[in-house]
Structure 1
Amino acid sequence: MISRLPLDGQLESLRAVLARNDVLMEVLARAGALGLPGWYVTAGCLVQTVWNVVTGREPTSGIKDYDVFYFDEGDLSWEAEDAVIRAGRGLFAGLPAEVEIRNEARVHLWYEDKFGVACPPYDCTEAAIDSFAATTCCLGVRVEADGRWRVYAPHGLSDVFNLVVRPNPVLAPRSVYESKAARWRELWPELTVLEWPSGSGPAASPAG
């Protein structure tokens, strides 16, 4: 069982599994060309690739989009982020998937309007990854210029390989976690979805 391997073995297995997703590998290869500070491909596209491979599905099955996070506090204007997004649109053109690029230094400017709770400013991309609604999705990968993989996995990889969805009540409201988990379980019924802990974390519903 992969989740019982030593951490270095789990990392090797993660890389082998993610390599089965050709779209993901192309996103990783192209993202580096943008030269974005602190960038990672992150969230659902990674864990869902693992879920697909572990359950015998096509590696890209059910993946809604591919998230690229970066952190640039030098210019917090929407215009600066939009310029990066437009550059990415050209770079990722032709891929059979949507690639979403976000500057995590700006999240605190819009998060409360969208989700109903305030988000303190992040100080790095890793801090943003730490705040995902499910700890299982707290995972980021990038390929360095020398070809080495950099993997950020603050909660380890056992839940990812064991198909366990675990809540992370540090920022996102309970409703966000439950909505995401319900969608995931429809697509991957093999998942074990753990309940939001009673009395933990923000209880607000998303705005709109």
Structure 2
Amino acid sequence: MIGRLPLDEQLAALKSVLARNEVLVEVLNRTAERGLPNWYVTAGCLFQTVWNVVTDRHPTSGIKDYDVLYFDDRDLSWETEDAVIKAADEAFTGLPSEVEVRNEARFHLWYEQKFGVPCAPHASTEAAIDSFAATTCCLGVLLEPDGQWRVYAPHGLSDAFNLVVRPNPVLAPRKVYETKAAHWQQQWPELTVLGWPSESATLASSSS
């Protein structure tokens, strides 16, 4: 199993698997041309491509959209972010799936209103990825100027390849995790979804 390989071999396997999703590759290429600061293609389009390949589905099966996150704290106005989004919409014209572009420097401005818990400002796109509801989601890929793939995976890759969904209780509420996990398991019933940790387990982990 790929999830039991050494990390360097898992990274090579990840690139090979993701490259089978032609939409994803095109999103990576077009995003690289945009010159966005601290950007990554991230979240569902990555780990769901892995799930699809591991379970012998089409690489794009069940992928709703492709998330592109960037970080620019020089101007936190909605108007500036909206201008980037509109320019990106033009850049991604012709792709068969929606591409959602967001500035993670503004994340804290709307998160509490939407999810009911406060969020401190992120310091980078990597910090935003660290806060995703499941550790399996914490994955980002970008193209360096020389065309090399750069992978950000703070929790490793084994869970993605092993079809394990593990909670990441650092920001997102339990309900958000459980709703997402239930939706994923409907699409990919082969998944093993781990439960939300008990309060005592969370406290023990935070104090260690």
Could you say which TM-score interval applies, normalised by the shorter chain? over 0.9
Distance 1:34 1:19 in 2: 20
- Structure 1, unmatched stretches of 5+, are 203-208
> Which residue number in structure 1 is paired with residue 57 of structure 2?
57
Determine whether 1:76 maps to 2:69.
no
**Could you give the per-residue CA deviations for residues 49-86 of structure 1, whole angstroms, max 9, x where no partner exists?**
00000000000000011000000000000001000000
**Could you give the per-residue CA deviations for residues 15-70 of structure 1, whole angstroms, max 9, x where no partner exists?**
00000000000000000111100000000100000000000000000001100000
> Which residue number in structure 2 is paired with residue 99 of structure 1?
99
**Could you give the per-residue CA deviations for residues 134-176 of structure 1, whole angstroms, max 9, x where no partner exists?**
0001000001110111100000000000000000000000000
User: How has the CA–CA distance of structure 1 residues 124 and 34 changed in structure 2, closer, same or farther, with 3 Å as cutoff?
Assistant: same
What is the identity percentage for the equivalent residue pairs of Structure 1 and Structure 2?
75
RMSD of aligned alpha carbons: 1.2
Does the 8 Å CA contact 1:169/1:201 hold for their aligned counterparts?
A: no
Determine whether 1:137 maps to 2:141.
no
Distance 1:13 1:151 in 2: 12
Cα drift, residue 200 of structure 1: 7.2
Distance 2:32 2:19 in 1: 17
Q: Is the partner of 1:12 in helix, strand or coil?
A: helix
Distance 1:120 1:3 in 2: 33
Distance 2:112 2:200 in 1: 18
User: How has the CA–CA distance of structure 1 residues 151 and 7 changed in structure 2, closer, same or farther, with 3 Å as cutoff?
Assistant: same
- Structure 2, unmatched stretches of 5+, are 203-208
User: How has the CA–CA distance of structure 1 residues 100 and 200 changed in structure 2, closer, same or farther, with 3 Å as cutoff?
Assistant: farther
User: How has the CA–CA distance of structure 1 residues 32 and 179 changed in structure 2, closer, same or farther, with 3 Å as cutoff?
Assistant: same
> Which residue number in structure 2 is paired with residue 7 of structure 1?
7
Cα drift, residue 5 of structure 1: 1.4
Count of equivalent residues: 202
The amino acid that maps onto 1:178 is E
Distance 1:162 1:171 in 2: 24
Distance 2:189 2:177 in 1: 16
Distance 2:142 2:135 in 1: 19
> Which residue number in structure 1 is paired with residue 120 of structure 2?
120
Q: Is the partner of 1:3 in helix, strand or coil?
A: helix
Distance 2:201 2:172 in 1: 8
Distance 2:27 2:135 in 1: 23
**Could you give the per-residue CA deviations for residues 94-118 of structure 1, whole angstroms, max 9, x where no partner exists?**
0000100000000000000000000
Q: How does 1:174-185 map to 2 (within 5 A)?
A: 174-185=174-185
Stretches (4+) displaced over 2 A: none
Q: TM-score, normalised by structure 2?
A: 0.95
Distance 2:161 2:152 in 1: 16
Cα drift, residue 201 of structure 1: 10
The amino acid that maps onto 1:53 is V
Distance 2:4 2:135 in 1: 18
The amino acid that maps onto 1:182 is A
User: How has the CA–CA distance of structure 1 residues 201 and 168 changed in structure 2, closer, same or farther, with 3 Å as cutoff?
Assistant: farther
Distance 1:118 1:48 in 2: 28
